[in-house]
Structure 1
Amino acid sequence: MLASRATRPVIISGVLLCLLFLLVLSPYSPAPDHITLPNLSTTLGRTPPIPNIVHYVILKKDADSVLHLKFEHFLSIYASLMYFKPTAIYIHTDHNASAVEEAAATGSKWTRIILNLPGVKANEVVSPTHANGTLISKVEHKSDFVRIDELYRTGGVYMDLDVLPLRDIKPLRNAGYRAVVGRQLHGRINNGIMLAQKEAALIYLMQREGPIIFNGGWETHSIKLITPIAERLVRIPNEVLIMDEVAFSPTAWTSNSFDALFAPHNETAVPWPAPQINDVEEEDPIERWESRNTRSKKWEMDFSATYLLHAYKARGHEAPGFEGVTVPYVLKRDSNYALAAWPVVRHALDHGVISEEDDEI
């Protein structure tokens, strides 16, 4: 027994020497030249593009409401036609077919023009009245529910009527995500602009959860709901892409932001066709960067990183000199909104859709 214990250190030492000998004699195996990674496009599958269908919602404020659209609404819808070339533009409304036909024939100037634009279709919907046992009294809240239902049903691009498209959003539709949304001031997700595939999970969860938590609060069932859902789903590949504020909401509903966007400067108009920071169309990235100071006025905003301009209003605030968006207002080119809308107005003028004398708001 004692002898056995005495030989153990000798045996262990011998084993260690053998291992060391093998390590010294073994040829060095360098790391491989490359590591084979899984093909993510194959593993995750190719997500089809978001449908090129545009959705708007306009509902009655009361039983006597007539279908009335403004020039600012025309700019949004016409810009959608001009930049997106969608397969269809739907105006979801609770005005019945006869009311829509009457508005298209005898309504205000912009109502008639919009309803007769090619590709624009009115879709009659039922305006919700209750959710979670609570009366839905505000038309904005009714719109919140309708937009989700219609986006879930067909997929596409939903925009509020005060959103001005600045360029094609095909890169976002083709980005490989089932839903694309964007942040607004203070970092929350804005439900006034949503891109989604038919039956996308984000829209499904909004449709399912919204009526359950509705309590009449201004944002309870909308912004306060979509923000945590979208952020939670980002972790799932190809599910949700969240854009930063500049992409969809470079301005906000504060008085200072409203003035910066809409207030005319009552000075010499930004000349045209002289260069203007948002008119520059260089495809070369180096040239575009070097042209960053192409401003005729110091107050010009650079919308290079903006796809859709959500032109918020400041409730109860009036911008100095601003009386509303009209054709002459845009043609003056002395406000940031006018400069952003200028290409749309110019296109509509060139194609005889509107005239320079159209001064109706």
Structure 2
Amino acid sequence: MVPRNASRLLVIVSAVALTYVLSPYLYRFGDYVRQTNPLSGQKWIEQAFQPTEPELACLRGQSPAADHSAAAVSSTDPIPNVVHFIYGLKNPLNNPGAGRFDFLSYLAVRSAIVSLRPDAVYLHYSYLADPPSPDDDADPLTNPWIRRLSPHIKLVHHHPSSTKVQYAHLSDTMRLNFLLEQGGIYLDIDAFALRSFDKLLQSPHPHDVVLGAEGGNRWGLCNAVIAARANSSFVARWLASYENVDFSREWNYHSVLLPKDMARDHPEEVCTLPPDAFFWPTWTWRHIDWMHEPLSRQQAIFWQGEIDRHGGGLFENQRAYHAWGQMAWDRYLKKLTPAVVRTKDTRFNLLMRRFIEKDL
């Protein structure tokens, strides 16, 4: 007969082991419930919308004001067709969650090279070596994806920050500094350029910043894709707002909500694009699933036809797709390889295939 204490211990050990095995599934189920329950607010993010005439004018490189005639097209210099990416501010050697510059990162940079045909692509970084090194000066060309991209990009090394800082917000201020000083296009490393930005770069002065609305309810203007002229007063004001802020108490106010408030207060300084220009589908559970769900042969043919008809996007107004890495990584993005993207039909994979070089 098994002693009572031994039986209890066996039950406890079994429960702990079962919890460990099931924990990823329990976490995902909890995340699903949290995001899709009626009180989550995601239905407002997903709500249908119609682009406004001012938003469409910005897509055409015209003033969002009342006069949208050809004469309203800017006679000033366009926003520079120069692209900035930021990656590797945190060392993955000590912070595995920081990730490495991988296939998806490569695809994002490739998409900018192919779709935007920029005058230059700058990749700003602190750590890129692979395998990770404690030395921030380690050769970035040890990373095979960087080595592959290196003929087409300019690597800009930044020494790691010596202060305690939220790295996402350090990236926020860095991108604004680059745009304030040089102008150009900033793209998050999970933002994929799908079509030329040439027309929207013609945004007439003083509308020196181009931002995309996030959500069908246009709840914010997201900083994952920004185009701006150098010395923009809007960017300068935005950058100044980061001074003396306790970022442990807020996450997306400065990156999404504040720019919308600023655009409302200074509409003459910014051109706002419709939600489907950069940030549609959104980050919600259902929208992420929609982008990555398997397609039937008939569905794949239909969506490939739409992509071809729109010059690279799923929708008429789409110029880029932000893949919402924080929301989609564990469920979908981390599983992608060149072979998977080429052979598995999903809406995301259909968008990405043309960016993969033939020898991969």
TM-score by length of 2: 0.68
Cα deviation code 1:202-260 (max 9, x no counterpart): 110111111233432212332232221123221x2xx2100111000011222211111
| CA shift for structure 1 position 279 | 1.3
The answer on 1:303 being equivalent to 2:315 is yes
Distance 1:156 1:277 in 2: 29
Letter matched to residue 340 of structure 1 = L
Q: Find the counterpart in structure 2 of residue 49 from structure 1.
A: 78
Give the conservation status (yes or no) of the 8 Å contact 1:181–1:193.
yes
Query: C-alpha separation between the residues in 2 aligned to 1:81 and 1:317?
Result: 23
Matches within 5 A, 1:34-183: 46-62=75-91, 64=93, 68-95=100-127, 102-104=139-141, 106-107=142-143, 109-114=144-149, 116-118=150-152, 120-128=153-161, 135-136=164-165, 138-176=166-204, 177-183=207-213
Are positions 1:194 and 2:226 aligned together? yes
Q: Are residue 228 (structure 1) and residue 258 (structure 2) matched?
A: no
Moved over 6 A (4+): 40-45, 269-275
Measure how far apart 1:164 and its partner are.
0.9
Mapped contact 2:74–2:202 kept (Cα < 8 A): no
Match status 1:211 vs 2:243 = yes
Task: Give the Å deviation of 1:179.
Answer: 0.8
Q: Hey, what does 1:342 align to over in structure 2?
A: 353
Indicate if the aligned counterparts of 2:92 and 2:99 stay in contact, CA closer than 8 A.
no
Residues 92 and 122 of structure 1 are in contact (CA less than 8 Å); yes or no, is this contact kept in structure 2? yes
Deviations 1:24-55 (A, max 9, x none): xxxxxxxxxxxxxx9x9999983320011100
CA separation in 2, counterparts of 1:101 and 1:317? 27
CA contact (8 A) 1:127 1:146 kept: no
Aligned residue type for 1:220: Y
Deviates more, 1:212-221 or 1:71-80: 212-221
Q: How many residues align?
A: 279
Equivalent AA in structure 1 for residue 324 of structure 2:
Y
Change (3 A) 1:269 1:122: farther
Q: Which runs of 5 or more structure 2 residues have no equivalent in the other structure?
A: 1-66, 130-134
Q: Which runs of 5+ in 1 are unaligned?
A: 1-37, 283-300, 356-361
Instruction: Name the amino acid aligned to 2:316.
Output: S
* SS of residue in 2 equivalent to 1:49: coil
Fraction of identical pairs, as percent: 20
Q: Which has the higher contact order (CA 8 A, sep 6+)?
A: 2
- Aligned mates of 2:136, 2:298 — CA distance in 1: 41
In 1, are the aligned partners of 2:180 and 2:232 still within 8 Å (CA)?
A: yes
Q: Which residue of 1 aligns with 2:9?
A: none
Higher Cα Rg: structure 1 or 2? Answer: 1
Supply the RMSD in Å over aligned alpha carbons. Answer: 3.4
**Paired letter, 2:178:** E
* TM-aligned CA distance change 1:47 to 1:336, over 3 Å: same
**In the alignment, is the contact (CA less than 8 A) between 2:88 and 2:128 conserved in 1?**
no
> Paired residue for 2:278?
248
Question: Are the equivalent residues in 2 in contact too, given 1:88–1:121 (CA < 8 A)?
Answer: yes
Question: SS where residue 337 of structure 1 aligns?
Answer: helix
Q: Which amino acid aligns with 2:322?
A: H
CA 209–168 in structure 1, closer or farther in 2 if over 3 Å, else same: same
Q: What amino acid does structure 1 have at the position aligned with 2:251?
A: W
2:293 and 2:224 map into 1 onto residues whose CA distance is: 23
The amino acid that maps onto 1:102 is D
Secondary structure at 2:321's aligned position in 1?
strand
**Whole-angstrom CA distance in 1 between matches of 2:172 and 2:326:** 20
Q: Aligned AA for 1:113?
A: R
Task: Output the amino acid matched with 1:205.
Answer: R
Measured in 2, the distance between the counterparts of 1:275 and 1:86 equals 25
| 1:146 Cα deviation from its structure 2 partner | 1.0
Residues in 2 aligned to 1:203 and 1:279: alpha-carbon distance in whole angstroms: 35
Whether the aligned pair in 1 keeps the contact of 2:303 and 2:314 (CA below 8 Å) is: no
- Write the distance in 1 (CA, Å) between the matches of 2:303 and 2:236: 48
Q: Partners in 2 of 1:54 and 1:226 — Cα distance?
A: 21
Cα offset, 1:159, TM superposition: 0.5
Which structure has the highest helix share of the two? 2
Q: Deviations over 1:148-198 (max 9, x none)?
A: 111111000001011111111010101323110011124200011100000
The Cα shift of 1:60 comes to: 3.0
Distance of aligned partners of 1:127 and 1:219 in 2 relative to their CA distance in 1, 3 Å threshold: farther
AA matched with 1:112: R
Q: How many Å separate the matches in 2 of 1:172 and 1:154?
A: 18
Q: Distance in 2 between matches of 1:275 and 1:215?
A: 42
Structure 2 distance, partners of 1:207, 1:145, is 6
Alpha-carbon distance in structure 2 between the residues aligned to 1:274 and 1:218: 35
